[in-house]
Chain A
């Protein structure tokens, strides 16, 4: 049991650090996916341990949300890149005080 949770934690932490430190929007996006999948792994592992299906169902939901998010997110990134010729998240900082 423990290895699953440890792996999940490691992957989640990698994703987290990636979101906070990387500038490229695509990479940030991939890191978000890492975090989602880390949580999926944890959900499935705990479901297996508890012997029911609730965690697995939740994992399906996360996948669906992730798929939708990718569709929308990538479209936004594409559009920003087309207008600004840049995929850096720091450049898209107009919405501020």
Chain B
């Protein structure tokens, strides 16, 4: 489908870290220190830390954010060739020909991630102070959040794949701890395990990929690999690309490893916001864009990325249409939006900047909406069923307004952040392949439908509250982050002014080839807006104009049933993986019981049986022993005589 990229991936060549960049390590170290203090010190202090623990926990990402901003401003002052900075902290380990340093790399790509993770992360931390106020284990919660952020920062700052893998696994661990934070709930514990195990499948891809990097290039450093990449064989690059894609599928919840994402909604809502907006699911997109020196030379792998992404963006959108759980609708929408990012990343040099652009915008509006959903749940006694909401715009005006900004951004209302980024992705997709572009447009229409449905069911239509529920606006500590995020959702599009983001990322992603669009840009925008408008209108007629029943109707058509069952993703996993696995295990158990144990126990039985027979010769009569001695002696003498005579 795609040809080799016309421009080639730039070589990663960082300069020394001087001035403010020498603080780079602190960006990771601060949240790591916070996690250490809260998780180790908290239990040692026996509750004495509980009154200030959350403040310490929230201060760490804020400090990291301030350092990130300082570095970002300094970087903007430099010329674009001079924007890659490396910092060698220490030698991590050496084994034979493998030297792995704990190296950090700060370049335009990681600088944007740093701002997103620490910035949106800080807002989520502040919000959590209010959201988790009545939880007795709030200090521990903040410890886990710090661990999560530290791991994610390690992931995006490492200058080699092993350091990236460390962060990658750290994110997996922290997400497990946070999804299962309310571990006394069976469903939360199960969801945490599911997320962890599905992520392990993806990790197989990353660890094999790292091994292949080492055997091919003799190192895992980005610098060396990106310099040697043009000379590597295309087959190797394709294999590497597919392995990295498998890893990205696990972390970013792409088909076929998507099943953990919806279950992960069992965690506290700020965790969902953190997983879906600032960290975790963006790691897959980061991995692919960071490995552009692999994908630029592996067009076949990019084709697979695009196919996976297109399937996922429709898959998630369809799930979002039928769910009644507000968080699961948002989770489906995350899948779908990450699909857009992967689609852009799979297109190659022309798409990388827009993948990151959409990732940042998505970070803003998805964090806004998840925290908004948390605010709604806060007012509705932790009920997540949208069929029990309705007409909340009066009861929660701030939440309603901020959520609306996120809503308009995600459906791509003209002028809002999502409009700019999604439009550009659809444009480059159309440029590469008409079918993919059209499917992406349809996805945008479905997005318009399910998000409008969510808005209508939550903030409009009729009151369907339970009797004892009295919705109220959330405290300031929760609404202020919402307002900031809403503002970012509205104005995220400024990054596209003068093609800034493309030029800014050029030292990392390479110079895009001149475009040759089949349709003019404004026409694509008009078409997309029209398709979205159709989706919104359908939602208005299906949900807004009708009375929403308080219980989900059961006599529904098969597409709705399929979408409610998450398109049978779990059933497919059961049939394809779990059941054969169970059969294999029972077969192995049988073989172990009957074949391995049979050989061992059978030989033991044979020996003891022989012993039973032979011991009967031991009669206890001395004379019979004497007779056998005599016979033996006679035999010896006879043998000697026979030899002598012969």
Contact = CB atoms under 8 A, between A and B. Distances in A.
B615 A20 contact: no
B630 A20 contact: yes
Contacts of A97: 615-616, 618-620
Given A16-B630, A20-B627, A92 B622 contact: yes
Interface in B617-645: 618-623, 626-627, 630
A96 B619 contact: yes
A90 B621 contact: yes
Interface in A46-97: 89-90, 92-97
Contacts of A36: none
Nearest to A90: B621
Interface in B584-637: 615-616, 618-623, 626-627, 630
Nearest to A93: B620
Contacts of B622: 28, 89-90, 92-93
B397 to A, nearest CB: 97
A66 B469 CA distance: 109
A42 interface: no
Nearest to B615: A97
A8 B622 CA distance: 25
A44 interface: no
A17 to B, nearest CB: 10
Chain A CB within 10 A, most for which of B619, B621, B623, B627: B623
Interface in B359-417: none
A28 B623 CA distance: 10
B396 to A, nearest CB: 91
Chain A CB within 10 A, most for which of B615, B622, B626: B622
Nearest to A25: B622
Interface in B459-499: none
Contact of B623 (A90, A94, A96): A90
Interface range, B side: 10 to 19
A19 B622 CA distance: 9
A36 to B, nearest CB: 14
A94 B620 contact: yes
A48 to B, nearest CB: 23
B625 to A, nearest CB: 10
A28 B618 CA distance: 20
Nearest to B619: A96
Contacts of A96: 618-620
B621 A93 contact: yes
Nearest to A23: B623
Nearest to A19: B626
Interface in A1-51: 16, 19-21, 28
A96 B619 CA distance: 5
Contacts of A16: 630
Contacts of B616: 97
B476 to A, nearest CB: 92
A32 to B, nearest CB: 9
A54 B615 CA distance: 42
A89 B621 CA distance: 7
B618 A89 contact: no
Contacts of A93: 619-622
A20 B619 contact: no
Q: What are the 10 A-B residue pairs with the smallest beta carbon separation, nearest first? A: A96-B620, A93-B620, A97-B615, A89-B622, A97-B618, A96-B618, A19-B626, A93-B621, A96-B619, A95-B620
12 contacts: A19-B626, A21-B623, A90-B622, A90-B623, A92-B622, A93-B619, A93-B622, A94-B620, A95-B618, A96-B618, A97-B616, A97-B619
Interface of A: 16, 19-21, 28, 89-90, 92-97
Given A21-B623, A89-B623, 5 more contacts: A16-B630, A89-B622, A93-B622, A96-B620, A97-B615
